[in-house]
Structure 1
């Protein structure tokens, strides 16, 4: 196993999932973006309660440190492109269309706690030798179920505008191996993940030489998993 260094984040893909965390196939259910400044995965942990037995004279007779409980990750996505399609996938709020049915805007309504999305991120690997015929290597991040997507504060002024969407991960294995080719099978052909995440897992990270998808300014379709 090599020791890869992460250079820069390339693209991320957002995929619509249902209330059980399963990817929703078909058109207008995914978006690939590259105009973003950062994606943060902040660990959410309950430290647990310490138990201590202390005698009247002040002597500690017994002590047990509280057992932390991992709740998941609080996700922060900061991006520049004001794409209504991307905002709709991240927040679950509706888009606004013109007379021809073209998406030209988005509404800010209630917080859609039952909607969700999967988040994939590709980051370039620095200084690694590629396999013969490979076009590069990336560190691939998968968060298969993020809910409670919410658009943050927005200030329009003389400086560049950055939008932030926050959410929180949920555990579950409904994503399965996923509908996309992000790995390689035993024959070296592009394939979905070789094993699904466990039912208590929130994130997977691995190295892949399968190139990330091309960014777009519109919805992309989600294929049916093989």
Structure 2
């Protein structure tokens, strides 16, 4: 599969991480959904400083272009579902519960800069090789992982006669303790057995992208547990 084409975004999962970027195990630490419009991953870079040597007569004796620095990605997620669980994981702000203990809303409070979350996105691939007779799995997806996003906050909200879209912003961080992750997201053998990442991201990396034949999780409108992979060894 040398030339995969992205058809459209399919499913997204947010996972709560701690102050060191490690996934937090437990029943209420992830949320899987598909009611979103787009996820923008905008590169945040510094251009660096150019070095230029100019003689008294105006001649340029030497020039060196500054080396850009990559600071990470500024993410912008536009979504439709006003899910207290999703917003709580992304922003760190509290959920409002009903009489039966179920989430019914959320509070907008301060920006929780010490909280964080991971984003995984599956986008469908247009490629007949994924469905060939000798292929494993039921298709193929481009898988994006940003294992440590911080400074999550909701943007402006306008409620009127049009469809309402919520906007979540944040920024990625390098390093962290995601490791190989708590989920089975890629084949680990020729039979297509699903497993965790084979290798962790490097200490200066912000995102990993690859093609997988392991199907994404099913969207549900409630918290989902984080209990596999690294959690089994903790």
Q: With the length of structure 2 as denominator, give the TM-score of the two structures.
A: 0.94
Question: Which 10-residue stretch deviates more, 178-187 or 65-74?
Answer: 178-187
Provide the rounded CA distance (Å) in 2 between the counterparts of 1:83 and 1:94: 12
C-alpha deviations, 1:20-49, integer Å up to 9, x for none?
000000111000010000001000000001
SS at match of 2:90: helix
Provide the rounded CA distance (Å) in 1 between the counterparts of 2:176 and 2:83: 29
Question: Which 10-residue stretch deviates more, 15-24 or 131-140?
Answer: 131-140
SS at match of 1:89: helix
Contact 1:183–1:210 (8 Å) recurs in 2: yes
C-alpha RMSD over aligned residues: 1.1
Report deviation, 1:172.
0.6
Contact 1:173–1:196 (8 Å) recurs in 2: no
Contact 2:179–2:200 (8 Å) recurs in 1: yes
SS at match of 1:160: coil
Unaligned residue ranges in structure 1 (runs of 5+): none
Of 113, 135, 142, 1:139 maps to 142
Provide the rounded CA distance (Å) in 2 between the counterparts of 1:170 and 1:2: 30
C-alpha deviations, 1:173-204, integer Å up to 9, x for none?
41000000001112531100111101000000
**Counterpart of 2:111?**
111
Unaligned residue ranges in structure 2 (runs of 5+): none
C-alpha deviations, 1:52-97, integer Å up to 9, x for none?
1212211112211111000000001000011011011111111111
Are 1:201 and 2:177 counterparts? Answer: no
Are 1:212 and 2:219 counterparts? Answer: no
Q: With the length of structure 1 as denominator, give the TM-score of the two structures.
A: 0.97
